[in-house]
A = this chain, B = another copy of it.
Amino acid sequence: MAFDRLIEKIIAMQNPTVAGLDPKLDYVPASIKEACFAKYGKTLDGAAAALFEFNKALIDALCDVVPAIKPQAAYYEMYGWQGVKALCDTIAYARKKGMFVITDGKRNDIGTTMEAYATAHLGETEVLGQDIEAFGADALTVNGYLGTDGIKPLADICKEKDKGIFVLVKTSNPSSGELQDMKLETNESVYEHMGRMCEAWGEELVGESGYSAVGAVVGATYPEQLKEMRAKLPHTFFLVPGYGAQGGGAEDVKFAFDKNGIGAIINSSRGIMCAWKKQGLTEEDFAQAAKNEAVRMRDELLGAIGRIGG
C-alpha cells in the first residue's frame, strides 16, 4: 500500500514532513524570473518555466531531508495549461529524485468522472493501446462530500496501482466548522462522520503498516480534533496542514501520531519556500534556506514526538 511506502521513507529519514510546493511567482527569485522571461517572453510560458526552475532547486535541496512534496494544483492552474505542464514536470522531477508526491487537488466528482480524475492523477490513460501517466502522483487529496460514489473509483486505482488518497475531514481554516463541526442527529459531528467513512472506505486497503490507502486531512490548527480523530481512526493516515504560517506548532501536531510516532505527515509550504526571509538571507539563497528550515522543522517535530517507528 502507498502509505507503507511513504512511512518507510519517513522512518528512514526520521522526518514526517511534506514540503508544500505552492509557488507563487512572487516567491521566485529575480534571477530565475529574468532568465525565464528572457527565454519565453512575458507570458504564461515564461511564468510557468520560472515556477518549474524554482521547484527543481527546492527539490534538489530538500530530497535528502524531506520524504515528500505536496504541489497544490491551484497555484499551477493559475498559470494556465502552461502552469499545469509545470505541475507535471515537477511531479516527474520529484519522483525521479525518490520523493513521494501528493498532488493537492481536492478533486471530487462521481462515477466515470471520478474515474477520469483518478486516472489523470494516479493512474494511466490509455491512448491507442498505450498506457501513459498523465500526472503520475503517488497520492491525491479529495473531497468526500459526494459520498462513496466519489471515492470508489479512487479506491480501485489505489489498490491496482499502489496509490493513496487523503479525504478532507477537518480542515485547518477558521471557517471549517461552519459545516464540519455541525452536530448530526446521531450526535456525531460532520467531520466525525466523514472520518468514519474514511475508515470504512479503507477497510480492504490496509497495508503492513496498519494504515490504509484512504488517508484523511486533519488540520494542525485544531489539536483537540486531531487527538480525537487519531484515537477514533486507527487505520487512517493523516495529512496535516496548518503548521507554521497558519499557527499550528509541534505541540499541536504531535497528537496526529500514534504511540510509535507514525500515522501522519505534516505539511509546511510557505515556511519552507520562503524560509530565506526569516533567516536573514537573500532570495537567491532560497534553496539552502528551505533546507535549513526543513532540518529545523524535522528536529522540532522529533523533539515533540520522539523517535519515529519505535
Contact = CB atoms under 8 A, between A and B. Distances in A.
Nearest to A191: B145
Given A42-B127, A127-B44, A143-B106, A78 B134 contact: yes
Contacts of A83: 120, 134
A190 B179 contact: yes
B77 A43 contact: no
A148 B178 contact: yes
Contact of A106 (B74, B88, B108, B134): B108
A85 interface: yes
Contacts of A193: 179, 182
Contacts of A135: 77, 80
Nearest to A177: B147
Interface in A29-60: 37, 42-44, 46-47
A78 B146 contact: no
Contact of A46 (B43, B77, B127): B127
A25 interface: yes
B80 A134 contact: yes
Nearest to A117: B74
Contacts of A120: 74, 77-80, 83
Contact of A113 (B74, B81, B112): B74
A87 interface: yes
A21 to B, nearest CB: 12
Interface string A111-127: 11110110111000101
Most buried by B among A83, A109, A114, A132: A109
Q: Most chain-B CB neighbours within 10 Å: which of A74, A83, A120, A182? A: A74
A282 interface: no
Contacts of A134: 44, 77-80, 83
B179 A79 contact: no
A150 B260 CA distance: 35
A44 B132 contact: yes
A44 B42 CA distance: 27
B106 A109 contact: yes
Interface of A: 22, 24-25, 37, 42-44, 46-47, 72, 74-75, 77-85, 87-88, 106-114, 116-117, 119-121, 125, 127-128, 130, 132, 134-135, 143-150, 168, 171-180, 182-187, 190, 193-194, 197
